Amino acid sequence: MVNFATVDKAIDYGKRRLVRRQLRQRGKVLQLSQKPAIIFSPHQDDETLGCGGLIALKRQQGVPVWVVFLTDGQLCYWGAPEPPPLTTEECIRLRQEEATAALDVLGVEASNIVFLDAKDSTLRSLEGDQRQRLVESLAHWLRAVQPGEVYVPYHKDQHDDHIATHDLVKAALKEVPLTVDLWQYLVWSLWRYENLNDLSTQQYQGLYSLPIAPVKSQKLEALKAYKSQYTPVVGNFTALPKTFMGFFDYPFELFVKA
């Protein structure tokens, strides 16, 4: 008997690949710049999923790259059957170790990695002082690093923390007298692509694809460092959908100019 759930998933997977290919065809080819870059990443893995190739290429050419993680990653096993496999503190430490190892593969030194401590999955609900404090932290790192390029998640990147990261960094940029190129990278919107269907003509004009074939294996190696996200922990449970990491095995990355 046909397992329709499996078939549906297979079709979805094919559709996702098709959408990604179409986006690549519609985008212009991105020429890698020599500008120092700062990547703002909501969670430990988004920087590699969305920009791993870009980071590796820049580092190969000696261009400085900083990565700032906004959340502490404490919900690394969110949705796992009770009791949680790790305590909150263990989760936070594990995600930091994984991120440091992944970025080491991509050529980013530990001194260029910043872990802020906003609680995982709360960024969009921060208000008042709490929100302002986080904006100040982001502004501090922008001032300290003086980047030429800033990378944030796509403004409709499906996950609340991703959308909030986009908005918080934009708020921080208003507080810092810097002229930067602002780029959006895609993570969840490549997986759940409904929000990409309504890219306006104007947004398509800002769409670019960066060829990353020479460093693709490095990106995949870096992704392997995020074991907590794809290794079954309790029974069959994995933190991310089982095919998620493999989906990012492609020779280009997509960016939308903000």
Binding site for Zn ion (CB under 5 A): 42-43, 46
* CA dist list (Å): 57 to 52, 131, 213, 216, 229: 9, 33, 10, 10, 25
CB of 71 to Zn ion, least distance (A): 8
46 vs 149, beta carbon nearer Zn ion: 46
41 vs 209, beta carbon nearer Zn ion: 41
Q: Which residue is nearest to Zn ion (CB)?
A: 43
In a 3-state reduction of DSSP, which class is residue 193?
helix
State the amino acid at position 239 in one-letter form. Answer: A
CB of 141 to Zn ion, least distance (A): 19
The token pair that represents 88 in the structure block: 């909150």
Q: Give residues with Cβ within 8 angstroms of 54, minimum separation 6.
A: 32, 37, 151, 210, 212, 253, 255
Q: Give the Cα separation of 212 and 125 in Å (integer).
A: 35
CB of 76 to Zn ion, least distance (A): 11
63 vs 244, beta carbon nearer Zn ion: 244
CB of 209 to Zn ion, least distance (A): 21
CB of 217 to Zn ion, least distance (A): 23
Strand duo 113-118 + 65-71: pairing = parallel
Shortest CA distance to 195 belongs to which of 165, 166, 163? 163
Q: Give the Cα separation of 71 and 251 in Å (integer).
A: 28
* CA dist list (Å): 14 to 8, 240, 243: 10, 18, 12
The token pair that represents 168 in the structure block: 């918080």
63 vs 166, beta carbon nearer Zn ion: 166
27 vs 50, beta carbon nearer Zn ion: 50
CB of 46 to Zn ion, least distance (A): 4
Q: Give residues with Cβ within 8 angstroms of 256, minimum separation 6.
A: 154, 183, 184, 186, 199, 203, 206, 207, 208
CB of 153 to Zn ion, least distance (A): 8
Peptide bond into 83 cis (omega under 30): yes
